[in-house]
Amino acid sequence: MKKNLLFVIPSLCSGGAEKSLITLLSLIDSTKYNIDLFLFRREGLFLPNVPDYVNIIDGGESYKLFDGAAAEYIKTNLKKLRFDKILNRINYSKALASGNRAKIWKYLKTAFPKNKKHYDAAIGYLEGNTIYYCVDCADADIKIGYIHNDYSKLNLDISFDKPYFEKLNKLVSVSEECCDVLKNIFPELSEKVLKIENISSPGALCLLAVNAAEEYEGVGSIILLTVGRHNKQKGYDIAVDAAEILDKNGVDFKWFSIGKGELMPQIEEKIKEKHLEEKFILLGERANPYPYISGCDIYVQPSYYEGKSIAIDEAKCFAKPIVATKFSTVFDQLANGETALLAEIDAQSVAGKIMQLINDKELCKKMSDKLKHTHKGNEEELEKFYAMLEE
């Protein structure tokens, strides 16, 4: 008999966890599992990539209204004389303003539709609300929570998370370093912590990169590329400052960025202030970034922190020379001087490493050759996922 699985994630907007989930769903054996995917909001760049055998359910209009503009929600429920819902929304606004995670979740969970289906396993695929949902709202024999980042950098409430983590059967993270952080913060839960890496398949990615990136056509300069959301974590402030240093040193380059996020207006303004409009180019979201990765000369990851960067793994699949900052988990993915040049977390160091690669073609070739012979993908991680469901 097929087992019933429930995956939970807020949406399928462009991000590492979302991309990782799409890969996992695409590889799961659908002859053995019935799969429901619960999205708080049915939206996102990767929504069309959900396999046909996955049943999508969502929070519906009620949730979207609750988590949208407070005035509209109150107006709608005032007509229905639903003062209980109005009070919940007012309290939710107060909780958001105070940053009280316990109260935020207390009121937010009242907006979700009831799901009475029983599952063999429920998987909260992102830290925070998806894990809380699995514990409080899902009827499942096994409950699993994923942490895709260095937990110590996420500004979460340890005292609030701990009782939820205690109710999970497994607490999954994506790298050795991230797992060690969890074990140090929650030593009594060490036996629940399990490493399952994001799955990458060089063969599958290369099939998606057969067409050239249009924006690269006619570019005679060195092409740099960064992929990631426009938020503080990804270090776009470092990238733009590094681009300014390259420009002042007479380097002929174009630095492309794929992604979007809340800091995009500030990044655009910073680019204009430094007169880098022709040098640092924001492409926005791309459902298929692989022609861009395949066609770039150097991949750059200027992050302040990461869990296990999917973008780096994808650059490795294409055997690209890489410059990355020395965030704590980078050493799980890259060897300095062998598969990448690792910079300090500042613009001067990042720019220096980029110039080193540009000026040392032999080093670039050495790194690419190393990656071609050593990076074979990690599809075997799927077996770890299956084994977890059987425990």
Cβ-Cβ contacts under 8 Å for 83 (sequence gap 6 or more): 77
CA distances from 75 to 59, 71, 226 (A): 20, 6, 43
Q: Residue 142 pairs with which residues in a beta bridge? A: 121
Yes or no: say if 7 and 123 are a contact pair by the CB < 8 Å rule: yes
CATH number of 3-200+380-390: 3.40.50.2000
Nearest to 223 by CA among 273, 309, 291: 291
| Spatial distance between the Cα atoms of 182 and 147, rounded to a whole number of angstroms | 9
DSSP annotation of 214: G
**What's the number of CA atoms in the CB half-sphere (13 Å) around residue 223?**
18
Which residues in the chain land under pLDDT 70? 375-377
| Spatial distance between the Cα atoms of 374 and 165, rounded to a whole number of angstroms | 36
In this structure, what token pair is assigned to residue 324?
């990355």
Cβ-Cβ contacts under 8 Å for 242 (sequence gap 6 or more): 300, 302, 347, 348, 350, 351, 354
pTM of the full structure: 0.83
> What local confidence, expressed as pLDDT, does residue 375 receive?
67
Same CATH fold assignment for domains 3-200+380-390 and 203-374:
yes
Place of tokens 């999970």: 168
| Spatial distance between the Cα atoms of 100 and 339, rounded to a whole number of angstroms | 43
For 132-284, strand residue ranges (E) read 139-147, 170-173, 193-195, 222-227, 253-258, 280-282
Q: In CATH, which of 2.40.160.20, 3.40.50.2000, 3.30.230.10, 3.40.50.1820 is domain 203-374? A: 3.40.50.2000
Q: Residue 64 pairs with which residues in a beta bridge? A: none
- Residue 174: CB atoms within 10 A of its CB come to 26
In this structure, what token pair is assigned to residue 360?
């040392």
In this structure, what token pair is assigned to residue 99?
């940053």
> What local confidence, expressed as pLDDT, does residue 192 receive?
97
Number of helices (H) and strands (E) in the chain: give both, helices first: 16, 13
Quick one: CA dihedral 43, 98, 164, 151, positive or negative? Answer: positive
Helix axes 264-273, 236-248, angle to 10 degrees: 20
Three-class DSSP labels, 336-352: ECCCEEEECCCHHHHHH
Encoded amino acid at 34, one letter: N
> What local confidence, expressed as pLDDT, does residue 380 receive?
82
CA distances from 109 to 12, 65, 101 (A): 20, 13, 12
Q: Residue 143 pairs with which residues in a beta bridge? A: 122
| Spatial distance between the Cα atoms of 238 and 324, rounded to a whole number of angstroms | 11
DSSP annotation of 223: E
pLDDT digits (tens, 9 = 90+) for 305-331: 998 898 999 999 999 999 999 998 899
DSSP annotation of 48: G
Q: Which helix or strand (DSSP H or E) is residue 218 part of?
A: none
Q: How far apart are the first and last CA of the chain?
A: 17
| Spatial distance between the Cα atoms of 122 and 133, rounded to a whole number of angstroms | 9
Domain ranges of the chain: 3-200+380-390, 203-374
